[in-house]
Chain A
Amino acid sequence: MLRLEKLTKTYPTGDQALKAVDLEVPAGQVVALIGPSGAGKSTLIRCINRLVEPTSGKTWLDDQEITGLGSRALRRARRRMGMIFQEYALVERLTVMENVLSGRLGYVGFWRSFLRRFPQSDIDEAFRLLDRVGLLAMADKRADELSGGQRQRVGICRALIQDPALLLVDEPTASLDPKTARQIMRLICELCAERGLAAIINIHDVALAKLFVQRVVGLRFGAIEFDGPPEALTPEVLTRIYGEEDWEQTIEDAPDEGEEEDAEEPREAAR
């Protein structure tokens, strides 16, 4: 359903973040994308919905080539790709409901959205989603009043109300405590299964990823180093992706202590 063909991104500084990445994700499959900081995981998923413009290569969503679209068609295509962010990326001064409904912006006209007069079907769906993630009572709270786990749930609702075919998930658990992290990962994977969504999940926590996904892709220096089922992640493979370290614990233990220390963004700790 999603197909990347020799996707390459070279930043103006000369850093080659992605080196001709080929990847295919069938409909309904949840893929974890692992790799050390700076391996190009964030760049990869941002190149798919073109928040970052790829330098060369092609992206196909079903039979539409995303990389060649003009701005109007790109906006239309973005509706089919819901995105979930590391630091939740809710608009903090808007209410929970506004944040969820903002996922419908690609579908409604400017004046409707400006006056917050969304179609009744969108409003009903927003309430349904909030109820599904257990936040119905919070609908009229401001986003900055919520806790981290609650915010991420709102972020999930915002992505799902787009009625996407694909979820792009960027470090969904990096700022959360281990328990909440597991709950959020479980929720994302359950919702993907319920709705038959494909997802690419960037994640640092290898052990957590192994618990929930069917397929793991390892990225190192902008190139795919590993692609296989979670069981195939042996210490040798992890050494190839991350470098030398004692990997036995990561593979065997339950992931309660699984928060990686060298998280990609330094602000993770600064919350």
Chain B
Amino acid sequence: MSTTTAAGDLDLLLGRKWKKPPFIKRPWLRWGLIIGAGIYLALAIASVPVNWARVYEGLDRGAAFIAAFTSPDFASRWGDIRHGMMESLIMTVAASVVGILISIPIGLGAARNIAPLPVYMLCRGIVAMSRALQEIIVAILLVAIFGFGPLAGFLTLSFASIGFMSKLLAEDIESMDKVQAEAIKATGASWLQWINYGVQPQVMPRLVGLSMYRLDINFRESAILGLVGAGGIGATLNTAFDRYEFDTAAAILILIIGTVMALEYLSGIIRAKVQ
């Protein structure tokens, strides 16, 4: 009996075209969303004011800026540039190291599968606060407290690194293989031994990769933080712009790009090694 019905169903299906079922089942909702999104996009583009006359004027300035890249001037402000770069590098490395060291315990606490609920809530709170406050805002506050200079930049970058690293580390811990950790627990290991043998090996490659990425971010951020007075190469860059010394600015930008690329290359090598 049931076999005949199945055969009947099969006969109905044979020879029919097959298509993947659409993600949104109701056709009116599907088409409504597509058309709605199209209208929104058109209106949004139309609403951006463009002053074509101003753009035309600006083209010259832009051209001067780009032309400066063909003749970057490393020499005339070399002292300032070197000082700024050193300050940025020191700031970046110090902030990354401090930020990462602090973010490891917070990351452990923010992983739901290893931390008890109160610790988890506290650490997630710290992470949320660090991520909610944008670097520039923190830098403005810290410059107000500690005055101009790299100390404010260093503290800002450390603070920002904590949120970033803790969150991503915690997520990696939460997605680790539970059984490997369980096996270590079953040997009678203490909590610290359990972390060291059961958890750390599983998250180490990610931790190293993230640390390198954060180092890279911190260096780029240090160029921005100078704009609000937090020291580093950003301060030198800002001064160059203020003086309309586009060729010096170009030299600084080239150095920043070069450093970021070098860091990128380095992190690629290191990540391949720790896999």
Q: A83 vs B192: C-alpha distance in the bound complex, in angstroms?
A: 20
Indicate if the CB atoms of A162 and B192 lie closer than 8 Å. no
Contact of A75 among B188, B196, B201 (CB under 8 A): B188
Indicate if the CB atoms of A93 and B186 lie closer than 8 Å. no
Q: A202 vs B27: C-alpha distance in the bound complex, in angstroms?
A: 52
Q: Mark A111-129, 1 if CB is under 8 A from B, else 0.
A: 0011000000000000000
* CB of A235 within 8 Å of the partner chain: no
Q: A77 vs B186: C-alpha distance in the bound complex, in angstroms?
A: 10
- Using known A-B contacts A110-B193, A113-B193, A114-B196, determine if residue A90 contacts B183 with beta carbons closer than 8 Å: yes
Chain B interface size, as a band, is 20 to 34
Identify 30 residue pairs between A and B in the complex whose beta-carbon atoms are under 8 Å apart, listed by A's number.
Answer: A51-B182, A51-B186, A75-B188, A75-B189, A76-B188, A78-B185, A78-B187, A79-B188, A83-B183, A85-B183, A89-B182, A90-B183, A91-B184, A91-B197, A92-B177, A93-B205, A103-B187, A105-B184, A105-B188, A105-B190, A105-B193, A105-B194, A105-B197, A110-B192, A110-B196, A113-B193, A155-B183, A158-B183, A158-B187, A162-B187
Q: A103 vs B198: C-alpha distance in the bound complex, in angstroms?
A: 12
* CB of B90 within 8 Å of the partner chain: no
Contact of A89 among B180, B194, B201, B204 (CB under 8 A): B180
Chain B interface helix/strand/loop/mixed: helix
- Cβ of A104: which chain B residues have Cβ within 8 Å of it? 187
Question: Which residue numbers of A lie inside 8 Å of B, CB to CB?
Answer: 49, 51, 75-79, 81, 83, 85, 87, 89-94, 98, 102-107, 110, 113-114, 155, 158, 162, 168
CB-CB nearest in chain A for B192: A110
Q: A107 vs B187: C-alpha distance in the bound complex, in angstroms?
A: 9
- Cβ of A106: which chain B residues have Cβ within 8 Å of it? 187-189
CB-CB nearest in chain B for A93: B201
Please give the distance in Å from B184's CB to the nearest CB on chain A: 6
Q: Mark B194-217, 1 if CB is under 8 A from A, else 0.
A: 101110011011000000000000
- Cβ of A77: which chain B residues have Cβ within 8 Å of it? 188
Q: A79 vs B202: C-alpha distance in the bound complex, in angstroms?
A: 23
Q: Mark B97-125, 1 if CB is under 8 A from A, else 0.
A: 00000000000000000000000000000
- Cβ of B197: which chain A residues have Cβ within 8 Å of it? 91, 94, 98, 102, 105, 113
